[in-house]
Each structure stands twice: as structure tokens, then as C-alpha cells.
Structure 1
């Protein structure tokens, strides 16, 4: 296992590269450093010739990923940090996951909320523990994902359900997520790693080139979402600098209900 990263773990296994967000103390929420390390990890995994699969997981027992670290979000300009359109190079990370030539599997053992739910949406396959929980919080905390997290989600679960997920910001059980098409399989909590390894072992027997061709074919059908995403994130940048968005972050950190209406 590689120790060169601070926020993630990187390991080349027998059947898959495993990339683990290693911030369990904040439910594996990501900050600028996390995103930068994930980009490097996915790009490296893409060149690993010994396996056909990349597994994305979260450390600990409680969360896969709960999106952007809200404590690191609020600054004078409303952005996370100095890199990327919104202070995070999130477009680069989403591109690295989307363009992976290998099969990506989200291993979800707990909360997959916000940006974590988007990661589960972006991965080719999602296998969940019966304890997993999925959902969006964007409009609840002054945020949005105008691309893969919305339009691609609608491809998976249907447009009506995707709108419900974003407009109500409710949580959904692993079985509910499976029934709507966001999850491929739900397994007992203590069998999750074993199940993912079994899927990875199956895929590792396949032709790497055939898998890559299949992925490019699947991706081509929804490639217009990339353009939507890049344009939409520009809007999100300006939105994050507004007092309305900042109110959502402040309310989250202060553990109170936000008062968005006074800024409209």
C-alpha cells in the first residue's frame, strides 16, 4: 500500500487497484488536497496493466464519502481554495473517473451523500452494504452539481426520481437506491469487501481492450453531459460567491436551519 498520500490510500491488489478516501473523522468529506490526490491516483490507476478494475472506497465503517468538507469551504470569496473553478479541481476529478479505461466500482459501506453520491453515480458499478445510505444535500447547504450529479443521475434512476432526489434532499436506503437503479447489488455489511473482490476477479478475466471499447461506447451516449457540466460549474462558481450560498454553509457549520429567502 502506498504511503505517499495524506488523504487517501492507494493499493494495487490481485484483481483491482483500490483507492480509499482516508478521512473517516469527517465522514470522508473531501478538501482540496483530497481531490488533488484522487486525480493523481485515478490517473495512475489508469496505467496499471495488471488489473481491469479500480475500486473507490471510503475508510472506516460510517461513510463512503459525504462530499465537500463544509468547514474548508467558506472563505472570503465563498470558494474552497486556489485551484479549479470552485476552488476544487472537481471537473478534473470527475473527468479522471469518467474517462478511466478500466471498470470503476464504488464500494459503499455507509453514507454516500452530496459529492459522494455523485462519485457513486459516476462509477461504472456500485455495490453497497445493506447499511449504506444515499442522497443529495446541495440545495440544502447552498450547493449544486449541474452536470454528472444531475443529468447522469437522471440516466440511472429516471428524470422524475432524480429531480426528487435533488429537490427534496432526502436520504435513501441501499435497497431503495438499488430499486431505482443507482446501485447494482446490496449485500450484508460484512460481505461487502468480499463481494466487490468477486466482481473485480470476474472483470479481471476479461479483455482490457474490449472493456475499454465498451466503456467508450457507453460514455459516447451521454457525452453531452460533459459540456453541461463545464458550463454549469462556471455558474456554480458565481453562486458560491453569493450570500445565499454562503448562508447554507454557515448554517451547516452552525448546526441550524438556513434562511435563504432573505437573500433572494
Structure 2
């Protein structure tokens, strides 16, 4: 499928989605949101794609978030059902997502990264939820994901000031997994993706689903009682991979994962 505002590359079981509006620091408008929705729908539906990496074109920005100039000049800001960037309300995606943050991740750009499972950041990356500076609020998940990921007080320290946080501080706060030189960013992101792909994709999806659905349960006991009803766990238990893993271990050979 041809895209105008993003690019999609497939390398084995890894999909790389690049926000491709560098002239506006990869800020997103309605057509870009809908392209991303379609791209992530395709990724979710493709049994041969196991992990996705999301990054931004150019050296300046991952994404500056909402395209305010487009909005101010009367451009439509309609979102797909999956939310900002086709991700922030995509709650049923069990395949892992890696954000490779190559520069500014502001507002909705930070919310895209927070919607991913891992954040790998270039040393030059910066993060913020500055919406109150322009009379807005981070309603694409930032106000909810950030406290869940780093704790209430740390999150409120960012939210109530709109301050910028460096990649190094982001790692200290706990929302960044690794900080690398800018030139090494995609190599590092692909390394994380390769490590994930060494494992059973059925197990990875079951694990991700159990983590996030379990956090919504009222207690640890309730989460453990409910997990056997989760679709990805049921799929794992019925899969070829569920048989292949123990067989490969017994035969002292690398497993041949099928993802089904």
C-alpha cells in the first residue's frame, strides 16, 4: 500500500513504521492518523510480522505531536477509532511495539512513545507534555499512561509544569529503556526487536496481554484468576509453538517458532 505521510518497511518479522513529515517535525494531521491506522491494522493482521518499531524521519523530531498549524488554519483533525497515530486507543494489539525516539517527542509525540511497550531514545531526544502551554491537555493517553508507568508524583512533576525531560532523565524516571548515541538508535531498536524475535511470538503476545489486562484487575489474585480467559493466552496454549518449545528443549536444538 502506498502512503504519503508515513513509510513502512518490513525486514523479516520486524515492521518499521516511520512518521514522514520532517518539514513539520513529524507533527500529525488527520490524513497521517488514518494512514497510521491502516498501517498498524496491517501489522496486527499479518501473521509473519511479530514486532514493530516506530520512529520519525529526519534528525530533529520523533514527533512534535498534533499539527497545530494545520488545525489553526481550519484543517480537519478527525481521528480513526484507534486514536492518535492509530495507536493510542489500540488496546487490543498484543504484538510488541518499540518506539525509537530520534529527537523531539512532544505532546502527542510523547503519547505515541508511551503507547509503545519499549522506548529506545537517542541522546538528543527530549520528552514533554506541554499541551497546557497552548490551552490543551494530553488527552491521547499521556495523562493516564505516564502516571501508570513512572508513578503519580513523578508524572505530575512533568504534567503540571510542561517541562522538557532529556533522554537521560527519562531513563532515570523509568519511561525510557535505553539511551544511545543518535547514530546508533535504529541499530539499538533492531537489537531489541531481534531479542524479542528469538522468543515465541505466541508467548510474547500472551505475556503482553496478561500484563496490561492484569493491571486493570482489582487485585493480584483477581489478575491471576482471570488470565486463563485472555484470548492471547488461550491462543498460546493451543499453538504449534506451545508444543515446539518443550520439544526443542528436549532435543537440545533451537526452536523453530511459527507464531501460530
Specify which of 105, 120, 133 is matched with residue 126 of structure 2: 133
Return the offset for 1:93: 3.6
Return the offset for 1:223: 4.7
Return the offset for 1:200: 0.8
Give the secondary structure class of the aligned counterpart of 1:186: strand
Q: Measure, in 2, the Cα distance between the counterparts of 1:223 and 1:68.
A: 28
Give the secondary structure class of the aligned counterpart of 1:61: coil
Return the offset for 1:95: 2.3
> Does residue 1:94 correspond to 2:88, yes or no?
yes
Which residue in the other structure is 2:37 paired with?
39
> Does residue 1:194 correspond to 2:192, yes or no?
no
Greater RCO, 1 or 2 (C-alpha within 8 Å, sep 6+): 1
Q: Deviations over 1:49-84 (max 9, x none)?
A: 2232100110001100110000111267xxx52634
* Superposition RMSD in Å: 2.2
Cα pair 2:17 2:55 within 8 Å, conserved: yes
Q: Measure, in 2, the Cα distance between the counterparts of 1:208 and 1:30.
A: 31
Q: 1:147 to 1:81 in 2, by over 3 A?
A: closer
Which residue in the other structure is 1:220 paired with?
213
Q: 1:116 to 1:127 in 2, by over 3 A?
A: same
Cα pair 2:20 2:57 within 8 Å, conserved: yes
Q: Deviations over 1:181-238 (max 9, x none)?
A: 11000011111111111111111121111111111111114459xxxxxxxxxxxxxx
Normalized against structure 2, the TM-score is what?
0.77
Q: Deviations over 1:32-53 (max 9, x none)?
A: 0010001101110112222321
Higher mean C-alpha deviation, range 44-53 or range 207-216:
44-53
Cα pair 1:126 1:184 within 8 Å, conserved: yes
> Does residue 1:83 correspond to 2:78, yes or no?
yes
Q: 1:34 to 1:124 in 2, by over 3 A?
A: same
Normalized against structure 1, the TM-score is what?
0.76
Cα pair 2:14 2:50 within 8 Å, conserved: yes
Which residue in the other structure is 2:54 paired with?
56
Specify which of 200, 204, 210 is matched with residue 203 of structure 2: 210
Return the offset for 1:15: 4.2
Give the secondary structure class of the aligned counterpart of 2:46: coil
Give the secondary structure class of the aligned counterpart of 2:127: strand
Give the secondary structure class of the aligned counterpart of 2:18: strand
Q: For residues 155-194 of structure 1, what are the structure 2 equivalents within 5 Å?
A: 155-194=148-187
Cα pair 1:83 1:89 within 8 Å, conserved: no
Q: Measure, in 2, the Cα distance between the counterparts of 1:45 and 1:147.
A: 21
Q: Deviations over 1:147-206 (max 9, x none)?
A: 621121101111111112111111111000010011000011111111111111111121
State the aligned residue count. 217
Q: 1:113 to 1:67 in 2, by over 3 A?
A: same
Q: Measure, in 2, the Cα distance between the counterparts of 1:24 and 1:218.
A: 35
Which residue in the other structure is 1:20 paired with?
18
Return 5+ residue gaps in structure 1 as ranges: 225-264
Return the offset for 1:145: 2.4
Specify which of 50, 66, 69 is matched with residue 68 of structure 1: 66
Q: Which of structures 1 and 2 has the bigger CA Rg? A: 2
